[in-house]
Structure 1
Amino acid sequence: MAQISSEETLIGQNDTPFFHPMPWARNPHLQTMLPRLLRRRVLFTPVWHRLDLPDGDFVDLAWSEDPHQARHKPRLVVFHGLEGSLHSPYAHGLINAAKARGWLGVVMHFRGCSGEPNRLNRIYHSGETEDGTWFLHWLQREFGNVPTAAVGYSLGGNMLACLLAKEGAQAPLDAAAIVSAPFVLEACSYHMEKGFSRVYQRYLLNLLKGNATRKLKAYPGTLPIELAQLKQVRRLREFDDLITARIHGFADAIDYYRQCSAMPLLNQIAKPTLIIHAKDDPFMDHHVIPDPDTLPPQVEYQLTEHGGHVGFVGGTLRHPEMWLEKRIPDWLKTYLGA
């Protein structure tokens, strides 16, 4: 049975700190949006590298430093969320925290998420583990076998959970952490169409449509939709029906959601893994919370009362603290080194 962490059970455990939200910012929407206001600037100079894939496409990597000079250092890989990138506050914040610990950090951008459209008639999705798996094995071949961990946020967290389950003990990772992952995609899609969550749906949908527009202009015919039809899309589920599902071989969005949700696979994770959810996450509801009896002992699950979606902002307004940037490295140091 997995280790289960809650605010009650964590009190007095220095090695498993629980989250204290900023006193005046307990609201889940404030927690979700604050990082974008407080972490606008990347605090290090990234080293960019375009990695060609076996099928002729590419993914872009953003390193914390020159990987050839730092090949001996423990590695931390970040898989971002839907339409995220290095410039997402959670991504560059954690990479900077890893760099401060003496680790080599890298963000693997999903296809088309680094600012330039990818070439082929495919994109990325919540269950597309092939690129992540290929990249992790490439990393091991190219830079040697040193302690390596991966962290997945939101969509990237669901993808990482699927990857860990599929690879099992053969996963080229020593440990992993997963934050705010939509483990039941269908339920999350319905939740995003209710109340204030529709604001987030509109924001994400505009990012997706903008990316798809750039791809259609750069590589006409690589998506199964025309620009005029794309402009009419009003829901994430509609986007997944018309584009994500069709180009990746699913019958429709619901088929995609049901085949790619990580929840049924969590019991197959063989590597030490920390999973963090907030009860008040506005992107999802109780359906994403796993039954502790189904989790293997190497999975530690932490459910906080507050935190929003990939927020978890503590401290004070004058001295804000990004809790994930301490919690995750503190947990991973057992596997990557202090």
Structure 2
Amino acid sequence: MTSYKPPFFLFNAHLETIYPALLRRVPLQPYHRERIATPDHDFLDLDWLRQGSSQLVIISHGLEGNSHRGYIKGMTKMCIANGYDVLAWNFRGCSGEMNHQLRFYHSGATDDLDCVVRHAIGKGYQHITLIGFSLGGNLTLKYLGEQKPLSVIQKAVAFSVPLNLYTSCRKISLSSNRLYSERFLKSLKKKIITKAASRKELDITNIQNITSLIDFDNRYTAPLHGFGSAIDYYTQCSSLQFLPAITVSTLIINAQNDPFLSEDCYPVKLLEGHPYVRFENPLYGGHVGFAQFHKNGLYWSEERAMHFIND
């Protein structure tokens, strides 16, 4: 289960990344949405699919994603087919409605994930698995390693994780990755402009002159969330430093050809002999890719996650 080979027409990392992001469609029954309050008087929108299971999978999406992205719905479909209830939560400002507070979301906002987990426990779940993709993967791993995890969390899986946020941000900012960085920047700027309509203290002067994710994080992400700079934000929130402390059975999968990830995101030696964390780095997969066909619409990543969860 640790090997993956892409379909013949997805013959490079960019195609492996872009095809699923733009063209994948996953038929899925409608979610039931629940809005919960956060301790700071904001809200989070949670999308549920339940079938009376005592076991729950909580799924965290990536940068500028949401619960309706193909990779979230694909994993949800797999979990439902294997008897689990699913909670796919939306980060602040990602559910289709802008959140109330000046802050929004970031790679290390584990307070919101903790709020979601505790809400699920309040529903009666005694067995919870966490799955995260990209930014959501970093968030999940940081959450597991920064403090003693709640006993109900039994397993975790993280895909395409920028374990070192700074070097990965530099990687995605290369000219060869301009398509991705510009798309993310466009979406992030739009959210800041939208929020500024109701929060006048948010300065959007010359926002269109921001041309890199690091510059965006310096101007907005870092100060809005209490960090001194983008570098300070990356340093404090990179999950790489939290991996040694994880005490939950965890699987991390980063494809070797992921165009977003730096060399630091392949900590083979660091995790060698780790009693709880397994790291796999298949040759192919791109970033949140792992497409395959003739498997009932399910991707390799979903099969691999379920095999690990059920093992």
- TM-score interval (norm. to shorter): over 0.9
How far apart, in 2, do the equivalents of 1:110 and 1:53 lie? 12
Q: Which residue of 1 aligns with 2:304?
A: 327
How many residue pairs get aligned? The number is 310
Within 5 Å, give how 1:246-257 maps onto structure 2: 246-257=223-234
Q: Supply the AA of the counterpart residue of 1:35.
A: P
Task: Please state how far the C-alpha of 1:287 moved relative to its aligned partner.
Answer: 1.7
User: 5 Å matches for 1:118-133?
Assistant: 118-133=99-114
Instruction: Name 2:180's counterpart in structure 1.
Output: 200
Q: Does 1:137 align with 2:118?
A: yes
Say whether residues 1:50 and 2:52 are aligned partners: no
Task: Identify the residue that residue 78 of structure 2 maps to in structure 1.
Answer: 97
The aligned amino acid for 2:24 is R
Instruction: Check whether the contact 2:78–2:298 (CA below 8 A) recurs between aligned residues.
Output: no
CA contact (8 A) 2:74 2:298 kept: no
The residue matched to 1:220 in structure 2 has which SS?
Answer: coil
User: Secondary structure, in 3 states, of the residue corresponding to 1:168?
Assistant: coil
Contact 1:175 1:332 in 2 (8 A): yes
Match in the other structure for 1:164:
144
Q: Deviations over 1:84-125 (max 9, x none)?
A: 001211111111111111211111111111011100111111
Map 1:1-338 to 2 at 5 A: 16-65=1-50, 70-141=51-122, 143-170=123-150, 172-217=152-197, 219-221=198-200, 223=202, 225-226=203-204, 228-294=205-271, 296-315=274-293, 321-334=298-311
Give the partner amino acid of 1:257: Y
| CA distance in structure 2 between the partners assigned to 1:243 and 1:303 by the alignment | 33
Please list the CA deviations of residues 119-178 of structure 1 after superposition, one character each: whole Å capped at 9, or x if unmatched: 01111111110110121012102x114321010100010111100002334354110001
1:38 and 1:281 map into 2 onto residues whose CA distance is: 19
Distance 2:210 2:2 in 1: 43
State the alpha-carbon separation in 2 of the partners of residues 40 and 72 from structure 1.
26
How far did residue 33 of structure 1 move?
1.1
Q: 1:306 to 1:62 in 2, by over 3 A?
A: same
1:222 to 1:331, Cα distance in 2 relative to 1, 3 A: farther
Q: Is this contact kept in 2: 1:177–1:274, CA < 8 A?
A: yes
Report the Cα offset of residue 292 of structure 1. 3.1
- Structure 1 residues 169 and 36: CA distance shift in structure 2, 3 A: closer
How far, CA to CA, are the matches of 1:326 and 1:140 in structure 2? 26
* Cα distance in 1 for residues equivalent to 2:109 and 2:27: 27
With normalisation by structure 2, the TM-score equals 0.94
Q: Is the 8 A contact 1:80 1:154 kept in 2?
A: yes
Contact 1:53 1:59 in 2 (8 A): yes
Q: TM-score under structure 1 normalisation?
A: 0.87
Please state how far the C-alpha of 1:37 moved relative to its aligned partner. Answer: 3.9
Contact 1:71 / 1:144 at 8 angstroms: preserved in 2?
A: no
By how many angstroms is 1:294 displaced? 3.9
Deviation at 1:289, TM superposition (A): 0.8
Report the Cα offset of residue 320 of structure 1.
6.4
Distance (Å, rounded) in 1 between the aligned partners of 2:296 and 2:125: 38
Alpha-carbon contact 1:312-1:323 (below 8 Å) kept: yes
Secondary structure of the residue aligned to 1:210 is helix
Where 2:18 maps in the other structure, the secondary structure is helix
Of all paired residues, the percent bearing the same amino acid is 33
1:270 alignment partner, SS class: coil
**Deviation at 1:220?**
2.0
Provide the C-alpha distance between the structure 2 equivalents of 1:314 and 1:60, rounded to a whole number of angstroms. 30
Give CA-to-partner distance per residue, 1:216-239, whole Å, 9 cap, x none: 22x22363x22x322222111111
Q: Distance in 2 between matches of 1:323 and 1:222?
A: 46
Residue 42 of structure 1, CA deviation: 4.7
The offset of 1:72, in angstroms, is 3.7
Letter in 2 for 1:192: I
Residues 19 and 314 in structure 1, CA contact (< 8 A), matched pair in contact too: no
Corresponding letter in the other structure for 1:246: P
Residues 34-68 of structure 1: per-residue CA shift (max 9 Å, x gap): 11344235522111111111211000001124xxx
Task: Name the amino acid aligned to 2:289.
Answer: G
1:159-216 alpha-carbon deviations (Å, 9 max, x no partner): 1110000233435411000100101111011112213212100011111112222222
